[in-house]
Amino acid sequence: MNDDEFEPKLPKHRAKQATGKSNYIQKVLRSANKRHNQSPTKLSARKYTFTGSRIGRGRAPGALAVSSQFNAQQRRVVVRARIAKFGSGQLTSARAHLSYIQRGGVTKEGEKGRLYDAISDEVDGKSFLENCKDDRHQFRFIVSPEDGHKLKDLKPFVRDLMHQAEHDLETKLEWVAVDHFDTGYPHTHIVVRGKDDRGDNLVIARDYISHGFRQRAENLITLELGPQTEYELETKLNHEIKLERFTRLDREILQFYKNNQSGLPDYRLGSDLRRQFFLRRLKVLEKLGLAHQEENQFWTLSPRMKPVLQDLEKRSDAMALIQKDLRILRLNRSSNEVRIIDPKDTDNHVIGKVLKLGLVDELKDQNYVLVDGVDGYIHYANIGVLKDIELPDPGMIIKLSSLSGESRIIDHTIYHIASQNDGIYSFENHQTFDGTASKEFIKTHDRRLEALRRKGLVERTQNGNWNIGQDYLEKAKKYEQATIRQQPLTITVSSYLPLDQLPSYVGPTWLDQIISKYDNMSFSNVHFGKQVLAALNDRQAWLVAQGNGKFKNDEFIPKREFMKNLQQLELRSTGTVLSKELNFNFVETKQGQKIEGIYKRPVLLALNKYALIERGHDITLVPWRPVLERVRGKAVSGVMRPRSVSWDITQKRGIGLG
């Protein structure tokens, strides 16, 4: 063999078994063990699951913020974030949010909020929305520095924060902001477009939204005001000790308890000042029934400690909001005359006059309503996310009811029919099941399935039928529970007109429903209940004068079918007014008649909302439905039914469209 023909023969790789201190992995695990208080075996066996928290821009600074440790000298900033999603061109939510954050009374001088951006103190909101018309989402932040009151102006701080965010996300951002000073803590609402500087959809890593953005804000406020002193921290912690809400002390106590499952040691054994704060906080939690000191000097915590404290916080914030609104309305009511409605209480049944509407959550656009009930109490309710056309106006009389969160009767009917037809629900199958069911009644089932389809819960087959599946009732229940999260209570309008207009109103009213025992209820003899009782007496006297009733032995007896007579009078008088106003003849629509025309606008009467339809040379009024608002000013067609209209709304040319 030549010297140049050397062929090395490599053996199979056999790694030596590293043991003890020579094993690098074990060193790493031991280091991690010191910090996480876990054994190396547990840490090495830990399963990591993909969460998607680091997908998107800013994942590196976001991950760094997650792993960073608490620094007592760092000044706190509370940041709340939300990704608001909407279809292209559907900016109703974005427009409403921008309008709300610019509302009056939010500046230091009590004036209307002013939009600003990176370079200008005055920004046109309409131009910003125009740029957003093709965006599929936007980011909304509320940034509230704990020491924001020490800043002369929030704008430089916010601009520095957004400049840092651009650096972290490696893109220019288009954003607008409004500073608010109407609460105890100055804060800023920031709206960021969902597009990057290349016009692509902006995707931000979840870790950055949850942790990175807040850490950058805390770094900036600390740089601006200097590190937090021990005296400042002690003052803030002293303030938190007696609060009936979830505080930073509670968060640290829970974290300590999580790392030491055997229990919390008695903090009196230590001399550390922070431990003394923990002990004093535990004593407060003990009075609330959320902590208990055992005989061995260890503390145990209630598993419901955090949710209970969060519920107490919501209640406290709600009471503060109620008292503020009552002062504005100049209503003198004590806290004993106020009730906060719990949506989980299925026995809720509140009827009263709407006093005020507002946003309870400015980030998620959740509404609240204040109702002066017929029972003599002021009722506060979180009514969730509603469209403008669904919100009642102040002065209206409404009924609030809780939802069950269970599948409906209509769902059981659909499931029963499908179970007899190999899991398929169709119009024909329903007719076979119930030959007396009307076409319009069967369509309500189809609309129910369409609502579930939009949420991805059921599928429509190619021939237009529905593939239900064995778990349909569970899916329907899931849909109802999701609905409750968006809208915790149902709102039924009892009267579109205020109470003082009802006694002499020419038409059927809520008072007439009570008189005819249609809506049986009891009334308090104080506040709004007393006003309703007086209005009932006045209404009875008016009905007698109009020949629609009489008194017998001090009991009012209404004339038979007086409600139907009043309804005819109402439509005719309303038609006469509209006819003069619009210079069109008014024609009543009869049951079974086909309706074709242009939907102009809704018309509010006492009990009902009607749709004004223009038909060539005349106009008519028919029962209104929310779907009509999508085609206002356009041609519609339908068939008049006993209590509603079966609409056929399609995007096509028709009457009045040139």
**601's tokens:** 């606008």
Q: pLDDT band at 652, cuts 50/70/90?
A: very low
Closest CA to 380 of 417, 415, 333, 424: 333
Q: Is residue 194 part of a domain?
A: yes
Q: Is residue 24 part of a domain?
A: no
Instruction: Say which residue the tokens 């010297």 belong to.
Output: 3
Query: Any idea of the CA torsion for 242, 243, 245, 248, to the nearest 10 degrees?
Result: -80
Question: Final residue of a domain: which of 209, 225, 241?
Answer: 225
Give yes or no: residues 299 and 354 share one domain: no
Give yes or no: residues 397 and 283 share one domain: no
Segments of 213-289 assigned E as strands:
none
**353's tokens:** 């006059």
pLDDT score recorded for residue 180: 94
Instruction: Say which residue the tokens 């695990």 belong to.
Output: 29
Give yes or no: residues 85 and 115 share one domain: yes
In angstroms, what CA-CA distances link 392 with 226, 397, 492?
A: 48, 9, 9
Q: Is residue 22 part of a domain?
A: no
What order do you get walking across the sheet with 635-640 strand by strand? 585-586, 618-623, 609-615, 594-604, 635-640, 645-648
Of the two residues 66 and 160, the one the predictor is more confident about is 160
Give yes or no: residues 244 and 194 share one domain: no
Give yes or no: residues 502 and 446 share one domain: no
Average pLDDT over every residue of 421-435: 91
**617's tokens:** 């040379």
Paired residues of 299 in beta bridges? 264, 293
Q: For residues 354 and 370, is the Cβ–Cβ distance under 8 A?
A: yes
Of the two residues 54 and 394, the one the predictor is more confident about is 394
Whole-angstrom distance, CA of residue 443 vs CA of residue 649: 14
Domain hosting residue 120, numbered range? 59-225
Instruction: Say which residue the tokens 């919501």 belong to.
Output: 314
Q: Is residue 27 part of a domain?
A: no
Question: If you ran DSSP here, which 8-state letter would residue 211 be given?
Answer: I
Give yes or no: residues 247 and 347 share one domain: no
Q: pLDDT band at 2, cuts 50/70/90?
A: low
pTM: 0.78
pLDDT score recorded for residue 39: 43
| Mean pLDDT score across all residues of the chain | 85
pLDDT score recorded for residue 656: 35
Give yes or no: residues 313 and 430 share one domain: no
pLDDT score recorded for residue 40: 44
**C-alpha 502: how far from chain center:** 33
**Does residue 264 have a pLDDT over 80?**
no
Q: For residues 368 and 321, is the Cβ–Cβ distance under 8 A?
A: yes
**Digit-coded pLDDT (tens) for 532-561:** 999 999 999 999 999 988 988 888 888 888
Give yes or no: residues 331 and 236 share one domain: no
Q: Is residue 352 part of a domain?
A: yes
**Digit-coded pLDDT (tens) for 478-510:** 999 888 888 888 899 999 999 999 999 999 999
pLDDT score recorded for residue 20: 46
**Digit-coded pLDDT (tens) for 271-325:** 467 778 888 899 999 999 999 887 766 788 898 999 999 999 999 989 999 998 9
Q: Is residue 42 part of a domain?
A: no
Give yes or no: residues 117 and 65 share one domain: yes
Q: pLDDT band at 390, cuts 50/70/90?
A: confident
Return the CATH number at 579. Answer: 2.40.50
**81's tokens:** 């974030």
pLDDT score recorded for residue 497: 95
Average pLDDT over every residue of 427-437: 91
pLDDT score recorded for residue 339: 93
Overall number of domains in the chain: 6
Question: Final residue of a domain: which of 486, 511, 546?
Answer: 486
Q: pLDDT band at 651, cuts 50/70/90?
A: very low
Give yes or no: residues 289 and 419 share one domain: no
In angstroms, what CA-CA distances link 499 with 494, 523, 541?
A: 11, 14, 16
**Does residue 50 have a pLDDT over 70?**
no
pLDDT score recorded for residue 21: 44
Q: Is residue 414 part of a domain?
A: yes
Q: pLDDT band at 54, cuts 50/70/90?
A: low
Q: pLDDT band at 7, cuts 50/70/90?
A: low
pLDDT score recorded for residue 417: 94
Q: Pick the range with the lowest mean pLDDT from 34-48, 115-129, 361-375, 479-493.
A: 34-48
Q: Is residue 279 part of a domain?
A: yes
Give yes or no: residues 218 and 235 share one domain: no
Question: Final residue of a domain: which of 225, 248, 269?
Answer: 225
In angstroms, what CA-CA distances link 311 with 58, 280, 314, 349, 489?
A: 33, 21, 5, 22, 18
Reduced to 3 states, what is the DSSP secondary structure of residue 555?
A: strand
pLDDT score recorded for residue 449: 93
Q: For residues 378 and 371, is the Cβ–Cβ distance under 8 A?
A: yes
Q: pLDDT band at 253, cuts 50/70/90?
A: confident
Give yes or no: residues 180 and 326 share one domain: no
State what percent of residues in the chain have pLDDT above 90. 49
Return the CATH number at 239. Answer: 1.10.10
Average pLDDT over every residue of 362-391: 88
